[in-house]
């Protein structure tokens, strides 16, 4: 059986179930406790677990990220919430230079089993400093894992896997997905990392996406179907490790690919996927791999300009037609 629940509830259920299972797991962050979570992901958790395990922090990202890392290296399993991934930039030194590198520079002696999580990328008109998609900064770094679920079931399964993993794992939650509902199986267990999901079968074209852009890709695919174009949609779910097998299998079937993500075009996950396709499936390609990304500019406050910057179905449709050599793009 499955229940239709919101993305934020799925995340919460994962945390609660793991905290019930393992008393080394605790949640820490700004307003996760008494305020019930800035985005209500941790609503009710303080009542359930008390302030020893649901811990409100001051506004000190570098400090509490480091506290989580220190606690993890001596055996606890912290979940550290950033109120938004944008603010993780303040803690970037801790994640990059400590969490990611501890195991290697100690010769494998110390692990860092920590989860960093929170809302990522754009919301609605919150301006440039609250709208940055941060995942590609982190996915480039060996020593950490990065996941970005699109559906509540995946959110629950990937969060459970993140908490159980013995490495630092970053969970990128789209702020605009928290209220979106989806079916979550009653017995939803951890979902292994590095397994992309073919969320729609098709034969003419592959759309590769993750997080909220999977929903945008699905919308574009439905519209293209009305024009007789059969679209396959691959939801990466996990950015590091990256499931190149599923991407390659799909491209070998469709021969054309567009990558859709909210990060900037320079470098990034789209560039990584395009590189792997050209290396591993060059002979299968009938067109260059295109990328649909946020425009290469700061995020404007103005609503219309903001929508212009973030990938929309029409831009995905245009890119799809271009790799199909149909119409203008």
Question: Is the N-terminal amide bond of 241 cis, ω within 30° of 0?
Answer: yes
Q: How far apart are CA 15 and CA 156, in angstroms?
A: 8
Identify which of residues 141 and 319 has a Cβ nearer to another protein in the complex.
141
The active-site residue out of 18, 30, 61, 272 is 61
What is the Cα 138 distance to its own chain's centre?
A: 11
Contacts for 108 with CB less than 8 Å, ≥ 6 apart = none
> Rounded to the nearest whole angstrom, what is the least distance from the CB of residue 68 to another protein in the complex?
6
Q: By the criterion CB under 8 A, which residues form the site for another protein? A: 26, 52, 57-58, 60, 62-76, 93-94, 97-98, 102-111, 113, 142-143, 145, 165-167, 193-194, 240-242
Identify which of residues 178 and 193 has a Cβ nearer to another protein in the complex.
193
Identify which of residues 121 and 161 has a Cβ nearer to another protein in the complex.
161
How much is the CA Rg of the chain, to the nearest whole Å? Answer: 20
Q: How far apart are CA 66 and CA 138, in angstroms?
A: 16
20 a catalytic residue: no
The active-site residue out of 9, 13, 18, 130 is 130
34 a catalytic residue: no
| Angle made by CA atoms 35, 146, 189, in degrees to the nearest 5 | 75
Structure tokens at 132: 């940055």
> Rounded to the nearest whole angstrom, what is the least distance from the CB of residue 13 to another protein in the complex?
24
Q: At what angle do helices 313-323 and 212-226 cross, to 10 degrees?
A: 60
Q: How many Cα atoms within 13 Å fall on the side-chain side of residue 171?
A: 31
Identify which of residues 165 and 306 has a Cβ nearer to another protein in the complex.
165
> Rounded to the nearest whole angstrom, what is the least distance from the CB of residue 218 to another protein in the complex?
27
Identify which of residues 190 and 295 has a Cβ nearer to another protein in the complex.
190
Q: Is 143 helix (H, G, I), strand (E, B) or coil?
A: coil
Q: How far apart are CA 55 and CA 240, in angstroms?
A: 28
> Rounded to the nearest whole angstrom, what is the least distance from the CB of residue 22 to another protein in the complex?
13
> Rounded to the nearest whole angstrom, what is the least distance from the CB of residue 23 to another protein in the complex?
9
| Angle made by CA atoms 277, 201, 216, in degrees to the nearest 5 | 80
What residues are labeled active site? 61, 130
């Amino acid at each position: 059986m499955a229940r239709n629940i919101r993305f934020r509830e799925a995340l919460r259920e994962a945390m609660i179930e793991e905290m019930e299972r393992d008393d080394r797991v605790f949640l820490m962050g700004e307003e996760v406790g008494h305020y019930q979570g800035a985005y209500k992901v941790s609503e009710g958790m303080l009542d359930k677990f008390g302030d020893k395990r649901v811990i409100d922090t001051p506004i000190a990202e570098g400090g509490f990220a480091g506290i989580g890392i220190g606690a993890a290296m001596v055996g606890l399993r912290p979940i550290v919430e950033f109120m938004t991934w944008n603010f993780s930039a303040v803690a970037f030194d801790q994640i990059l230079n400590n969490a990611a590198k501890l195991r290697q520079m100690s010769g494998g002696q110390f692990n860092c089993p920590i989860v960093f999580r929170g809302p990522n990328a754009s919301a609605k008109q919150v301006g440039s400093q609250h709208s940055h998609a941060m995942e590609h900064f982190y996915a480039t770094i060996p020593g950490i894992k990065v996941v970005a679920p699109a559906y509540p079931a995946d959110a629950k399964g990937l969060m459970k896997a993140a908490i159980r993993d013995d490495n630092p794992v970053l969970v990128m939650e789209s702020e605009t997905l928290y209220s979106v509902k989806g079916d979550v199986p009653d017995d939803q267990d951890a979902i292994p990392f590095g397994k992309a999901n073919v969320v729609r079968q098709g034969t003419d074209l592959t759309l590769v996406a993750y997080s909220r852009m999977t929903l945008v890709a699905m919308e574009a695919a439905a519209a293209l179907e009305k024009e007789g174009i059969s679209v396959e949609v691959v939801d990466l779910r996990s950015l590091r490790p990256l499931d190149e097998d599923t991407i390659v299998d799909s491209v070998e079937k469709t021969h054309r690919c567009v990558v859709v993500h909210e990060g900037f075009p320079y470098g990034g996950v789209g560039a990584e996927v395009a590189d792997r396709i050209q290396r591993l499936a060059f002979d299968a390609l009938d067109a260059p791999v295109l990328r649909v990304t946020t425009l290469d500019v700061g995020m404007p406050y103005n609503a219309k300009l903001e929508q212009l910057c973030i990938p929309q179905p029409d831009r995905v449709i245009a890119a799809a037609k271009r790799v199909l050599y149909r119409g203008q793009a």
